[in-house]
Amino acid sequence: MALDGDKQDGVWKSGRGRGRATPKGRQLDDAAAADIAALLGDRPRRRDLLIEHLHLVQDAFGHLSAAHMKALADEMNIPMAEVWEVASFYAHFDLVREGETPPPALTIRVCDSLSCQIAGADALAQALSDGLSPSEVRVLRAPCMGRCDTAPVLELGHNHIDHATPAKVTEAIAAGATHPVIPDYEGLATYRAQGGYDTLVSLRDGGDWEQVQETLLSAGLRGLGGAGFPAGRKWGFVRGYPGPRYLAVNGDEGEPGTFKDRYYLERTPHLILEGTLIAAWAVEAERVYLYMRDEYPVSIEILRREIRALEDEGLVDKGFIDLRRGAGAYICGEESAMIESIEGKRGLPRHRPPYVAEVGLFGRPTLEHNVETLYWVARVCREGHEILSSVEKNGRKGLRSYSVSGRVRAPGVHLLPAGSTIRDIIEAAGGMLPGHAFKAYQPGGPSSGLLPASMDDIPLDFDTLQPHGTFIGSAAVVVLSDQDSARDAALNMLEFFEKESCGQCTPCRVGCEKAVKLMKADTWDRPLLEELCQAMADASICGLGQAAPNPIRSAIRHFPDEV
């Protein structure tokens, strides 16, 4: 096949007949091309910005039409199939083929994770579906939005409605309240007036990163995204590899029941940002990529404002902190999946080794930290290791931010000694709701399964729960009462994993689906479920599939009468 340049540029000749006037596949629409060129403006067309550019299109037009995606592919010089592959991976992108009807202008996402389910999310979603015109408003069920303390919750456009009711939704729609509401928070001027960034400036002027690392180790600070790896030790690993190096901040707090990162971001964002810049200084990172889940529009807007303020103040170079926006994929909380997403790809976990400390973002050594971890990096550096190491309870040292929700009087983030038991946590949360007796609890998100009320004397900390077949994870504590079903709770968790599996590996993709079907039977087939759990735990690529069996096993072990 050859291009016949004598007749007309772009006419392909096959040697048989007249050939094609255009290449195969979707043709570029001039109007769509103009839309995309105007939307992108002078933004770079780099491959890693694909998801950011998809957000621009989705936000501007309410969906991703085939014509706009083709134009975006052409503008970025990447295959249309690749654009479609990435966009279709993420829940918050609405792909519309030729001839299909775009979604309505307004979308309501009703959280259906455990805390919201027990607070009446099913009835809320049904009432909204029945009461609103589907041609004007789309009602979807969605995973955890990180607002479990105000369940049930929904997102109207980009505005979260706490303790949601149909009446509140109707009122908000009438008022056009579809944008995020920014709360009062500690801005840069207030933070600096209290000594904020003095530590960072001092370290930059001649600090010793190894001394700072030792301070973190003395404090006992561990990764607070769930893995619990000693935070300071990561620095030495990353610095051991030649540069350039990067820092990736994991703000994809998607574990149902977890909302501590959002809590701190919406109140004291500069503690996280100073901790981020200290960590970047320690590993000599050339750039920081701050990845925030799309379910946190308030946090994203606050960070956007305050990063700009830091640049204006001269504390960071323009563009040094690159704020990236997720698109509705729980799996991107896994560090390597997050890195794939930052690179503009599907959030598929990588096989390890190599680990991200050696081969991370763009193939370079990368330090990865959770948002709350960086909050404590700043505080430990400012206040000394004693702020954590001097606190002791039940033989455990440090403090833990417990995200507490469910059947308690005062749900929220409760900062308690790391050795606190579930009884201590319930007491800090105001006790059980009137008329509810404590029955069970989820100690660290659905990945941790369920424990019965009888196991109320275990310190909820790293390493203390493993002997009982569970773990603290991100300290997402959901309290259940005698009015709740452990069986239904376990099914809710597995349905979440089924929806959020990235699909890369068969044990997780198929295992979660089959588990949900088996759990819906009147009586569980325990031997078959255990065989399935073992296969998932042994053969899944990442922690999602490996931990998904925990709700099943814990329900069988602790609540056999219900299953």
Q: Phi/psi class of residue 362: alpha, beta or left (left: φ > 0; alpha: ψ in -120 to 50)?
A: left
In 326-467, the DSSP E strands lie at: 366-370, 392-393, 396-397, 399-406, 412-417, 438-442, 451-452
* pLDDT for the residue 14: 55
Does the pLDDT at position 5 exceed 50?
no
Alpha carbon distance, N-terminus to C-terminus of the chain: 65
* pLDDT for the residue 61: 97
* pLDDT for the residue 11: 53
Does the pLDDT at position 389 exceed 90?
yes
The 10s digit of each residue's pLDDT in 496-543 is: 999 999 999 999 999 999 999 999 999 999 999 999 999 999 999 999
Q: Look up residue 43 and give its amino acid.
A: R
pLDDT band of residue 1 (cuts 50, 70, 90) is very low
Q: Taking the model in full, what pTM does it have?
A: 0.94
* pLDDT for the residue 76: 97
Quote the percentage of the chain above a pLDDT of 90: 94
| Residue 83 near residue 52 (C-beta atoms within 8 A) | no
According to DSSP, the residues that pair with 451 across neighbouring strands are 441
What is the per-residue burial (b if ≥16 Cβ within 10 Å, else e) of 56-74?
bbbeebbbbbbbbbbbbbb
Q: What is the token pair recorded at 146?
A: 């990180």
* pLDDT for the residue 166: 97
Does the pLDDT at position 299 exceed 70?
yes
Distance (Å, whole) CA 465 – CA 394: 14
* pLDDT for the residue 20: 74
Count CA atoms closer than 13 A to 445's CA, side-chain side.
Answer: 26
Does the pLDDT at position 119 exceed 60?
yes
Distance (Å, whole) CA 364 – CA 124: 47
Does the pLDDT at position 157 exceed 90?
yes
**Mean pLDDT, residues 81-103:** 97
> What is the average pLDDT score of the chain?
95
Alpha-carbon 347 to chain mean position: 11
Q: Got the DSSP string for 468-497? A: GT---TT-EEEEEETTS-HHHHHHHHHHHH
Q: Look up residue 425 and give its amino acid.
A: I
Choice between 18 and 441, residue whose per-residue pLDDT is larger: 441
Q: What is the token pair recorded at 414?
A: 């409760």
* pLDDT for the residue 227: 83
Distance (Å, whole) CA 92 – CA 254: 14
**Mean pLDDT, residues 192-196:** 97
* pLDDT for the residue 21: 76
Distance (Å, whole) CA 220 – CA 232: 9
Say what angle helices 50-61 and 80-89 make with each other, to 10 degrees.
Answer: 70
Distance (Å, whole) CA 545 – CA 533: 9
Q: Which residues contact 191 (CB under 8 A, 6 or more apart)?
A: 197, 268, 270, 271
The 10s digit of each residue's pLDDT in 394-414 is: 999 999 999 999 999 999 999
* pLDDT for the residue 479: 98
The 10s digit of each residue's pLDDT in 195-235 is: 999 999 999 999 999 999 999 999 999 999 888 899 989 99
Q: What is the token pair recorded at 123?
A: 């009835």
Distance (Å, whole) CA 77 – CA 74: 5
Of 378, 361, 176, 209, the closest CA to residue 277 belongs to: 378
